[in-house]
Amino acid sequence: MTVDVAAQAWSGRSDGDGDDVLRWHHVTAPLTGPDAPRDAAFVGFRSDEGVRRNQGRPGAAGGPGALRSALASVALPAPLRAVDAGDVVVGDGALEDGQRRLGEAVTALLDAGGPVAVLGGGHEVAYGTYLGVAGSRAMRAGARLGVLNLDAHFDLRDAPRPSSGTPFLQMARDEERRGRRLDYRVLGISRLSNTERLFRTADQLGVSYLEDTDCGLLSLDRVEAFTGAFLDACDLVHLSIDLDVLPAAAAPGVSAPAAYGVPMEVVERVVTAVAASGKLAVVDIAELNPDLDIDARTARAGARLVHRALTGTPQARGRR
C-alpha cells in the first residue's frame, strides 16, 4: 500500500503567478485516479532493508522525502503536469513484498502514461522498478528493454537473500526465465569496489560497462559512444542512478561514498541523452542517505538528475 505524502512534501519557494515562474511544487499533485493527466509521475520507495542485508549504512529510507524537498523548488522551463503516487514503505524486513508492491505501482503509472521517477531507497529499489517495467503494456507488446545503471557497483551479487547488492542479477534471472537476455550496461564501475567474482559474473552475463577511470571529461567521446550504442539496441529504457557513482564531494550522503567517481557533468550528459532519445520509461534514484548528507548536496544532485530526466524528454520539450 502507498501512503499519501505528496501534499506535505511538495511545497517551496514562490515568485508570483504565471507560467514563467513555475517550480516543481507548483505542478505536482497527489495522484487522484489512474487516468489523471500527467507528463510525469513520481512514486517513492522507503526502504533500508536491502542496505541492511548488504552490510551497508542504513538511512536510505529517508531518501524519497529528501529528494522531494530538494526538487520542489527547482525551476521549470515550461509548464508540466506531474502526479505523485506516494511511497511504498518497507517495514519489518519485508523487502520482497515491498518490491512487489512497488512493481505494481510502477506498472499502473507506466500504463497510464510515463515517464515515471522512482525515488529510493537503497538500490534494491531497482528490482522493484524492473518488476513494474516488466509487467507494463509496452513489454507485453514486445518492446526491447534496456537497463542502464549509473553506478560504481555491478550489484550482481549472488546472495541467499535479495539485497541492495543483488537487483541486477535478479533481473537477469527473471529475463532468462522469460526466454530473454537482459541487456544490462553499467557506466562508472569502480575497479576497487567490485571483486573479481563480480567481474566474472558480469562477463558471463554479457554485461557491457565503462569503468570510472574511462568516464572523465576527457573521455566524453567514449561515454557518448557507449550511451549511443545502448540506446540503439533498445526500445524502452530503465535508467537506474545510484548516487554513489558521483565523487564523494558531490555526493557524500550515500552508504559507500566514491573515492574517485564520475563527474556530475558527465553523468548529467548521459541522463540528458537518454531523456532526449524518447525511450525513457522509468528512472530510479538510489542510495541517498539524508543522515549522512552535508548541506543537502547529495539530495540536490539527485534532484538535478531527476529534473534533467523528466524535462529532457520529447514530450516535455514539446511543451516549451
Q: Could you tell me which residues come within 8 angstroms of residue 177 by beta carbon, excluding any fewer than 6 positions away?
A: none
pLDDT at residue 5 is higher than 60: no
Categorize the per-residue pLDDT at 59 as very low, low, confident or very high, splitting at 50, 70 and 90. very high
Please state, in angstroms and rounded to a whole number, the distance separating the CA atoms of residues 133 and 138.
Answer: 8
Per-residue HEC secondary structure of 213-259 comes to: HHCCHHHHHHHHHHHHHHHHCCCEEEEEEEHHHCECCCCCCCCCCEC
User: pLDDT tens digit string along 229-249?
Assistant: 999 999 999 999 999 999 999
Please state, in angstroms and rounded to a whole number, the distance separating the CA atoms of residues 213 and 208.
Answer: 15
Calculate mean pLDDT across residues 34-60: 92
Calculate mean pLDDT across residues 280-300: 97
pLDDT at residue 295 is higher than 60: yes
Average pLDDT of the chain is: 94
Q: Could you tell me which residues come within 8 angstroms of residue 47 by beta carbon, excluding any fewer than 6 positions away?
A: 60, 61, 88, 89, 90, 95, 98, 120, 121, 122, 124, 125
User: pLDDT tens digit string along 161-199?
Assistant: 999 999 999 999 999 999 999 999 999 999 999 999 999
H-state helical runs in the chain = 6-9, 24-27, 49-53, 63-72, 95-112, 125-134, 137-140, 167-177, 196-205, 220-232, 264-276, 297-311, 314-317
Please state, in angstroms and rounded to a whole number, the distance separating the CA atoms of residues 28 and 21.
Answer: 14
Calculate mean pLDDT across residues 40-56: 93
**What is residue 287's DSSP assignment?**
-
Bridge-based pairing of strands 116-120 and 145-150 is: unpaired
Stretch among 36-50, 204-218, 226-240, 270-284 having the lowest mean pLDDT: 36-50
Do the annotations mark residue 123 as ligand-binding? yes
pLDDT at 209: 98
Calculate mean pLDDT across residues 26-48: 92
Please state, in angstroms and rounded to a whole number, the distance separating the CA atoms of residues 320 and 261.
Answer: 34
User: Cα-atom radius of gyration of the chain, to the nearest Å?
Assistant: 18
Say if residues 44 and 64 touch (Cβ distance below 8 Å). Answer: yes
Categorize the per-residue pLDDT at 6 as very low, low, confident or very high, splitting at 50, 70 and 90. very low
pLDDT at 40: 96
**What is residue 144's DSSP assignment?**
P
pLDDT at 314: 86
Q: Residue 82 forms beta bridges with which residues?
A: 28, 40
Do the annotations mark residue 155 as ligand-binding? yes
pLDDT at residue 4 is higher than 60: no
Residue whose cell numbers read 567474482:
197
pLDDT at residue 2 is higher than 90: no
User: pLDDT tens digit string along 77-115?
Assistant: 989 999 999 999 998 889 999 999 999 999 999 999 989
Do the annotations mark residue 244 as ligand-binding? yes
Q: Which domain holds residue 81?
A: 2-317
pLDDT at residue 135 is higher than 70: yes
- Output the nine-digit C-alpha cell for 114: 510515463
Do the annotations mark residue 153 as ligand-binding? yes
CATH of the domain at 151: 3.40.800.10
Stretch among 8-17, 19-28, 199-208 having the lowest mean pLDDT: 8-17
* Number of structural domains in the chain: 1
Say if residues 271 and 309 touch (Cβ distance below 8 Å). Answer: yes
Q: Which of 72, 66, 76 is nearest to 21 (CA)?
A: 76
Do the annotations mark residue 17 as ligand-binding? no
pLDDT at 1: 41
- Conformational region of residue 296, where left means phi above 0, alpha means psi within -120 to 50, and beta covers everything else: left
Q: Could you tell me which residues come within 8 angstroms of residue 97 by beta carbon, excluding any fewer than 6 positions away?
A: 90
pLDDT at 7: 43
